[in-house]
Amino acid sequence: MTLFDLTGKRALITGSSQGIGFALARGLAQAGAQIVLNGRDAAKLAAAAKTLRTEGAEVSELVFDATNHASVRKAVDGFESSVGAIDILVNNAGMQHRGPLEDFPADAFERLLQTNIASVFHVGQAVARHMIGRGAGKIINIASVQTALARPGIAPYTATKGAVGNLTKGMATDWARHGLNCNAIAPGYFDTPLNAALVADPEFSSWLEKRTPAGRWGKVEELVGACVFLSSGASSFVNGHVLYVDGGITASL
């Protein structure tokens, strides 16, 4: 279907050497996009790129720290001038730190702010400056079910993901008039390295299966359809939207 065809488009996915980021990179490649993988670990990035290339994807690697504004600008501007346009940006880089709010370490709180929200600003701004000049672009920020809901032990993470949702709306408000579509995907509970401790906890998994109408953990591949939709011409008039892919957890008590 041509509406969802990404042939000729290039997508940068931050934090894409594993987990959700890697799954989205693979899915966008299968939809026809050229892929730019990003992370801080060059070896992990190279291994991920090798896997995608064996599957027939056209892949570049761009090593930078998404929390460092100067490094982001240098990497993005350099890539745009030496390789070509970034048509799609998926701001996926993120981290988690769990603990009771009354004892939550201040340094861990700062790391969450930098990794989960400042990186969205840094990379989003750097890429958008080029997109604005071309009058087109797709920005997809990875939010969370915690954009709308809270759970004990992760209040700072919840704060950062709430901020991602509102920054997405702000991006759309500022940049839609320049031809950009800025939206977010909010995953529910997915079996990823970030959630490994929860997946391994039978008590938590049992609670989650009862709490989620779909009755199970999500599979990272189930995020691909939403990402392809928001990356493609099919979403040409969708802007500032947070799309929950959560098995119904935000729809029910």
Q: CA 27, CA 33: separation in Å to the nearest integer?
A: 9
Contact partners, residue 186, CB within 8 Å, separation at least 6: 142, 143, 144, 145, 147, 148, 161, 165, 242, 243, 244, 245, 246, 250
Radius of gyration, CA atoms only, the chain: 17
Amino acid identity of residue 199, one-letter, is V
What is the CB neighbour count within 10 angstroms for residue 202?
8
What is the phi/psi pair of residue 15, to 5°? Answer: 55, 50
Name the residues annotated as catalytic: 157
